[in-house]
Structure 1
Amino acid sequence: MSGTKQFDEEAAVLHAAHAFWQKGFAGTSLSDLESATGLGRSSLYNAFGSKEALYERALETYSAVYARPILQALDGPDLREAIGEFFALAVKALLDPATPPGCLAAMACLETGGCEGPGGKFTALQLKTITSGLRAALDRGVASGQIDDKTDTAALALAYTALLRGLASLHKGGQRAKELEAIVRVSVAMLPAKTGGRRKSA
């Protein structure tokens, strides 16, 4: 039918995400995107409008496919198991041979920074989402007596966010699997001791 897109748009975005993942926003040329998606330059512009718009779509798709399942691990009732699974899934994703090294979202955060430029709003929102998810899990751990009720959950959530981003940088820099997996054990060890009971109401 005339005017109907003759390609799988979501698949094209995912392929573009892998291209950006490999080289970053600035390092990925339009020729790279043509090769990755199988689309000509005019088709890319017709479908997505600009390289910047395609990058933002790629980041959103990356988040849905790779990041969201990792965050869902934080919903588990046992805090230590949830934190361990959160970081274990992050390491598993990093070590997946089907994906480029490192983390597309972490690369975007370092490359674009702040809220300005391509992907800036996405990276700021994702950092906030990760930190909020971690803090909510830690707050539940405090409320259920799984960790010390004097725990600064805001600070610990930020520390875990930094650790998550650091994992991606270490992997990009060539750290081996056993070294990344050791960090999973350390992440659980960072949790304060149990309080021994459910927190009392004020």
Structure 2
Amino acid sequence: MAGVRQFDERATLDRALDVFTERGFRATSMPDLATATGVQRGSLYHAYGGKEEIFLRAFGSYAARFLDGAAEALNRSTRRDALLSLFDYCIETFAEGTPSHGCLSTRTAIEAATDSPRAEAAVRTMLDALETLVFTALSALPGTSSSVDLRAAARLVVTTTRGLAVMERATYSPAELRAIAETLVTSLVGS
């Protein structure tokens, strides 16, 4: 039937996301996406318009799921517990898989700045939303170190999540990454 997609869009975007996660934005080609999704290149172009559009759609779903998980992780009774839970969630997210798949948003921020301003903007939007989630949680929860500017603390937490993603790529273990996170949390809100 003309004009009706003959494939499962969610499954296609999930498979495309797997390719972008494994290969990165720059190294992923339309033939890679066609092979991984089982959808012909022409159909992908017709449905989405090209690699950047596919990435933006897949990344939008990834970002929404990640932010939902982050919000759930932050739903704790103290600032310390919320931040430790967030860091655990982030570390688990980019250390999962064998070999681990890393962090798509960090990888995209590093490599897509020159390739796709729209992908770069999508990452910035996601990180700004994460910062707002952290700030909102810190503002609503009891904790020590009231002299800490909570907006600045939220930005530092988000920055540290990106640094941990890079350290994970440099073969730091999840235990080592958690120790780094705990040091920061103790510095911000006490023990």
**TM beyond 0.5:** yes
For residues 123 and 58 of structure 2, the distance between their equivalents in structure 1, rounded to whole angstroms, comes to 12
Q: What does residue 200 of structure 1 align with?
A: none
Structure 2 partner of 1:119: 119
1:162 to 159, 162, 167: 159
Shift of residue 99, structure 1, vs aligned partner? 8.0
1:25 Cα offset (Å): 1.2
Which is higher, the Rg of structure 1 or of structure 2? 1
Look up the equivalent residue of 1:168 and give its one-letter code: A
Q: Is the 8 A contact 2:102 2:165 kept in 1?
A: yes
Contact 1:84 1:187 in 2 (8 A): no
Alignment match, 2:36: 36
TM-score (norm 1): 0.84
Identify the residue that residue 86 of structure 1 maps to in structure 2.
86
More moved, 58-67 vs 98-107: 98-107
Question: Which residue does the alignment assign to 1:4?
Answer: 4
Moved over 4 A (4+): none
CA-to-aligned-CA distance 1:111-146 (integer Å, 9 cap, x gap): 2239x62412211111111111112222223xx4x2
Pairwise CA distance, 1:23: 1.7
Partner of 2:59: 59
Match of 2:177 in 1: 180
CA contact (8 A) 1:134 1:157 kept: yes
CA shift for structure 1 position 45: 0.6
Partner residue in 1 for 2:134 = 134
Using the alignment, how far apart are the partners of 1:18 and 1:98 within structure 2? 14
1:189 to 2:180 alignment? no
Residues 55 and 118 in structure 1, CA contact (< 8 A), matched pair in contact too? no
**Equivalent residue number for residue 101 of structure 1:** 101
**Deviating more after overlay: 55-64 vs 178-187:** 178-187
- Structure 1 portions without partners, runs of 5+: 195-202
Q: 1:70 to 1:166 in 2, by over 3 A?
A: same
Matches of 2:166 and 2:67 in 1, distance apart?
16
RMSD: 2.2
Equivalences, count: 190
- Answer whether contact 1:17 1:59 (CA < 8 A) is retained: yes
Structure 1 pair 178–192 and aligned structure 2 pair: CA distance change class (3 A) = closer
Q: CA deviation at 1:98?
A: 6.7
Query: Which segment drifts farther, 128-137 or 182-191?
Result: 182-191
* Cα pair distance change 1:10/1:99, threshold 3 Å: farther
Residues 135 and 154 in structure 2, CA contact (< 8 A), matched pair in contact too: yes
Normalised by the size of structure 2, how large is the TM-score? Answer: 0.88
Sequence identity of aligned pairs in percent? 29
Give, in whole Å, the separation in 1 of the partners of 2:29 and 2:161: 28
* Counterpart contact for 1:147–1:192, Cα < 8 Å: yes
